Amino acid sequence: MSFKVNGEVGACGGKLLKLSHHSNVVNNSMDVNVYLPQQYYKNSNDKPIPVIYFLSGLTCSPQNASEKAFWQLQADKYGFAVVYPDTSPRGDHIPDDPEKYWDFGVGAGFYVNSTQEPWKKHYQMYDYVHRELPAQLNEYFNKSGNAKVDFLENVSITGHSMGGFGALSGYLQNYGSKKYKSCSAFAPIVNPSKVPWGEKGFGNYLGNDKSAWAQYDPCELVKKIPNRGADRILIHQGSNDGFYKVQLKPENLVEASKGTSWEGKIDVHIVDGFDHSYYFISTFVPEHAAFHAKYLGLAQ
């Protein structure tokens, strides 16, 4: 599958590629940014470079985290690539929130597969992020058959806000197949079935059947999917985040894990003075990078 290179930006020791491609899953062109670290250009005979997928939050595009989260320094330090998918399909023909609010529709795909009209033709973001995009990237970057970047197996996932939900949900749903080596999140929506953003998104994309919502809700998934024994989830949440108490509620995930094999293995750090912004994200990216690097075999 072919990608169009719309931009190539030198950053730190590597390059940020701004790409677009056609997605059969969402029936639309999609933008995605990929940061290739310095190791990609210097160590062609080493093991394939691992990948971290960063899922962005409401209203964001691939540009936001690429420019403001500062993953590049950490990618160069440890030797992983970073993939920044878009948050929804885009275009004048793509259905949007009829009331034009920012918390649903374009820029707010919620990383689920919609089952409802008029959304289901294009809003298949779960399959896009966890299935189609990794396969297409792997094919494009490893055309010779000698993989330099491992987009499929030695991969981890993280995200912010809506993207933090997407990371947690995707990690747990794919836990049995060991698709992702590790998962972390910044100010995630951990219990979308119980908060206004999630109720609106799930209600429109998935309909009124709450059992369909439970298939994506991390607080429900953690009760059903056994931990293999040593895996942990890392979460940071700012105490001054205006969405903390109403929309995010990370304590709900800790509470849901009690009595399960995940109890004591979900590390939620409430950090004083931080809000919901990229100032918060960029401050704790080094800690999350170190966390993932261990699971990806890049650090002790």
Give the active site residues.
161, 241, 276
Distance, in Å, from the CA atom of 107 to the CA atom of 94, rounded to the nearest integer, reads: 11
| Omega cis (within 30) before 226 | no
Helical pair 278-295 and 71-78, crossing angle rounded to 10 deg = 20
Distance, in Å, from the CA atom of 189 to the CA atom of 112, rounded to the nearest integer, reads: 14
Q: How far from chain centre, in Å, is Cα 154?
A: 15
Residues 6 or more apart whose Cβ sits within 8 Å of residue 125: 26, 87, 88, 109, 110, 111, 112, 113, 166
- Four-residue CA torsion sign, 191, 175, 48, 131: negative
Question: What number of other Cβ atoms are within 10 A of residue 176's Cβ?
Answer: 10
